[in-house]
Structure 1
Amino acid sequence: MTRLFKTIVYLSLGVVVLSCNNSEKNKTKSTVDKPSEQLYSYSVDTTGISVLWTAYKFTDKVGVPGTFDRISFNNTEASGSIENLLNKAQLSIQTASVNSKNAIRDPKINTFFFKPFNTPEIKGTILDAKEGEGMVKLYMNRTTHETPFTYSIENDTIKVIAHLDLGYWNGEEGITSLNTECYDLHKGADGISKLWPDVDVVIKLPVRKTPVME
């Protein structure tokens, strides 16, 4: 009976020791296998900034893309996280530089839309940027309105996406003026001439990234 009791005790101790050893191994393995996340500091390459816009015509809402050739971007932080670069940054766009890759259309956009819209320059200030979302304050047609946007980084480029409803900037006069000038060109299959107040905007900010040494 005594020998049996000793055997049971030894077996129990062996199990406890093995369990402790395995636990320590697992802890060590978990610590070793977990890679540390590389952190980066970013800075904007202002020479490569682009602003892409898509306006819409026809009842079927067919997109007409374009860009602007004269853009300036200024941020309060020269380098840091994506959020550091975006927060409080200011954007200025000269509307006379509108470029839809159509030499006939572009002067009409400038003359019959931006001039009645009283907007030789579009001014924007990013109020907040956090976790892929933010708010930008845009000044057009003597009117300021705050608009939400989303952002991400792809291939070393910050991409800011926003949807604008020009009605918030009293854009009806400019829209009507341009649609009247291009009445037949804005007719869809249903014979209705339509120019929408919606504009989708994508701002691309190329960045340089530098590893942060911990």
Structure 2
Amino acid sequence: MKNTIISALMVLILVSGANASQKSGCELAQVGALEVSWIGYKTPKKAAVGGVFESVIYTPVAKSGENFRSILVGSSVLIDTSSVNSKHEERDGKLAKFFFGMMSDKNIKAKIVDIKADKRVKNAPRTGKVDVEIEMNGVKKVVPMKYSFSDNIFEAKGSIDILDFSAGDALSSINKACFDLHEGKTWSEAGIAFKTKIEAILCSVEPLKESK
């Protein structure tokens, strides 16, 4: 009986050692384009108007990697502001001319500089914070954004104040051009967001390297 118990314990120890010497992981990759969207606010009641930029040049730091950090941090975008699209041709023309056209550069540059995950919650989307360095009107600012990941879609949302980018003249210009429609009020706050599809392209179980 004693020998049987000792043998069972040895089997458990060997199985535990085998499990501890392995790790499971997946290779992640971004699939398709990166979409950049925005929300502006007008009128004293802060009515929201949203849209996207049609011309976004995305340069990923890597084609694939083991986690979000390895494929996102260091990635950058170049946004052509003349491609603004709010599904209203007249509005888009005014935004391109009287707002973005008043800035020192028609392009907005952005780069992901950091990402931190929240504690995992079972059966809930993954969440965390992503820091994005934005360069607009010759001014650089690091903007924190909240991200969520669910159903292979990584989406980050945040907000900026146009005045932080020395764009007071641009704000005054668009407010003047749309004074009646905006009821004399164009807000300096704007919402920003981006999303992309991330898929697991390869999953495997690999032995851990023995420590020396």
Mapping for residues 150-165 of structure 1, pairs under 5 Å:
150-165=146-161
Once the two structures are superposed, residues 62-95 of structure 1 have per-residue CA deviations (whole angstroms, 9 ceiling, x without a partner) of 1101001011211222111112111111111110
**Which residue does 1:136 correspond to in 2?**
132
Tell me if structure 1 keeps the 8 A contact 2:130–2:156. Answer: no
Matching residue's letter, 1:164: I
Residue number among 79, 97, 105 corresponding to 1:93 in the alignment: 79
Q: TM-score, normalised by structure 2?
A: 0.78
Correspondences of 1:2-41 after superposition (within 5 Å): 39-41=25-27
Structure 2: 5+ residue stretches without partners: 17-21, 118-127, 206-212
Q: Is 1:48 matched with 2:33?
A: yes
Q: CA RMSD in A?
A: 2.4
What is the alpha-carbon distance in structure 2 between the residues aligned to residue 142 and residue 186 of structure 1?
Answer: 27
Look up the match of 2:54: 69
Higher helix share: 1
Cα distance in 2 for residues equivalent to 1:139 and 1:197:
17
Amino acid at match of 1:77: A
Match of 2:42 in 1: 57
Question: Which is higher, the Rg of structure 1 or of structure 2?
Answer: 1
In the alignment, is the contact (CA less than 8 A) between 1:126 and 1:134 conserved in 2? yes
Residue identity matched to 1:213? S
Higher strand share: 2
| Distance of 1:158 and 1:84 partners within structure 2 | 14
C-alpha separation in 2, matches of 1:183 and 1:37: 61
Q: Calculate percent identity across the aligned residue pairs.
A: 26
Letter in 1 for 2:70: N
Q: Secondary structure at the match of 1:196?
A: coil
Q: 3-state SS of the aligned residue for 2:97?
A: helix
